[in-house]
Amino acid sequence: MRQIKTAAMVINAKSRKGQALFEQARDIVRDFPFPVECHAVERPEKLDEIVLAALAKKPDILILGGGDGTISGLVDHLVHSDCALGVLPLGTANSFARTLGIPLDLPGALDVIRTGQLKRIDLGMIDKDYYANCAAIGISPQIAESVPHNLKKYLGRAGYLSWAVWQYVKFRPFTLIVDDGTDVTRMRVVEVRISNGRFHGGTELVEEAELDSGEIIVQAVRGGVKRNLLWSWFASATKLEARHATLMHFTGKTLKVDTLPRLPISIDGEVLAHTPVTARVAAGVIEVAVPVEDAGV
């Protein structure tokens, strides 16, 4: 790991755990062998401004604390920069941290930043927007668009899953259209994951995805009945061999994705796009702190 001499830490205090853990994080980094400038941000609309101000001081690493949406929304500022990323998983699912092998407890995650090493990784892109881990079409954006904020904040994954059950009742399968530049494929599906990382919703669903593969993966859960979605999630969570039977994968550097009807896309938990889109990989555009034993992620 190249020597870190200065760091900035920005924590989204509106994330589910952010307010409670900011003071603890600040106490821990006081013992780091390099200075860490700390910021707790209680107004999400100020995150960009504060991150840019922190980056203007040229830290060697920017430590971001929040959920997947927070990290994905800010990672654009680090692309092709000399500043590495440190991840504090303070959200609900923490899929990006899981993909990186980062501990989900605060002391463990901070220890990775202090003692780990830097790994150059890819980011995904939806049109011109960079993202960290996974974009989804189907029930995930339906949930993300409608879930009450306080439900996630105070009840965490249990509250999120309860809301998901309610949205499942209203969910309908749809048609996916993928153009890989050679062939155009159409099929009935119940979910689509446009993945840079393996985890989605806190569960390992796209096992083929690697953060340094130089490719993006579109994973489709096939079927015209929505119970296929429940089966796919269950089979993937329990690692049943039969999980592969309902899945189809498209891999490449650039893939055009459309649906019938046109649908919203959640990007690391935040609804930020609608079909049709072009999905791309941005290969090796950031460095991130990872555990030494998982440096090959």
Give me the residues paired with residue 185 across strands. 178
What is the structure's pLDDT at 156?
57
CATH topology (fold) of 7-123+286-294: Rossmann fold (3.40.50)
pLDDT in tens, 232-247: 888 888 888 888 888 9
The one-letter amino acid at 39: H
What is the structure's pLDDT at 269?
85
Q: How far apart are CA 217 and CA 253, in angstroms?
A: 9
pLDDT in tens, 265-276: 999 988 999 999
Q: What's the whole-number mean pLDDT along residues 178-203?
A: 95
Q: What's the whole-number mean pLDDT along residues 196-220?
A: 94
Q: What's the whole-number mean pLDDT along residues 204-233?
A: 91
Q: What's the whole-number mean pLDDT along residues 120-135?
A: 96
pLDDT in tens, 3-47: 899 999 999 887 666 677 898 999 999 999 999 999 999 888 999
Q: How far is CA 18 from the centre of its chain?
A: 17
State the CB neighbour count (10 A cutoff) for residue 205.
25
pLDDT category, 1, cuts 50, 70, 90? low
What is the structure's pLDDT at 159?
60
What is the structure's pLDDT at 209?
94
Class of domain 131-283: mainly beta
Instruction: State phi, psi for 122 to the nearest 5 degrees.
Output: -85, 160
Q: Buried (b) or exposed (e) across 7-21, using 16+ Cβ within 10 A?
A: bbbbbbbbbbbbbeb
pLDDT category, 102, cuts 50, 70, 90? very high
In terms of Cβ atoms closer than 10 Å to its own Cβ (0-12, 13-18, 19+), residue 165 is exposed
| Residue 130 reports pLDDT greater than 60 | yes
pLDDT above 90 covers a percentage of the chain that reads 68
Where in the chain do CATH 3.40.50.10330 domains reside? 7-123+286-294
Q: How far apart are CA 45 and CA 97, in angstroms?
A: 23
pLDDT in tens, 244-267: 888 999 999 999 999 999 999 999
Where in the chain do CATH 2.60.200.40 domains reside? 131-283
3-class DSSP string for the chain: CCCCCCEEEEEECCCCCHHHHHHHHHHHHCCCCCCEEEEEECCHHHHHHHHHHHHCCCCCEEEEEECHHHHHHHHHHHCCCCCEEEEEECCCCCHHHHHHCCCCCHHHHHHHHHHCEEEEEEEEEECCEEECCEEEEEHHHHHHHHCCHHHHHHHHHHHHHHHHHHHHHHCCCEEEEEECCCCEEEEEEEEEEEECCCEECCEECCCCCCCCCCCEEEEEEECCCCHHHHHHHHHHHCCCHHHHHHEEEEEECEEEEEEECCCEEEECCEEEEECCEEEEEEEEEEEEEECHHHCCC
Please provide the average confidence, as pLDDT, over all residues in the chain. 90
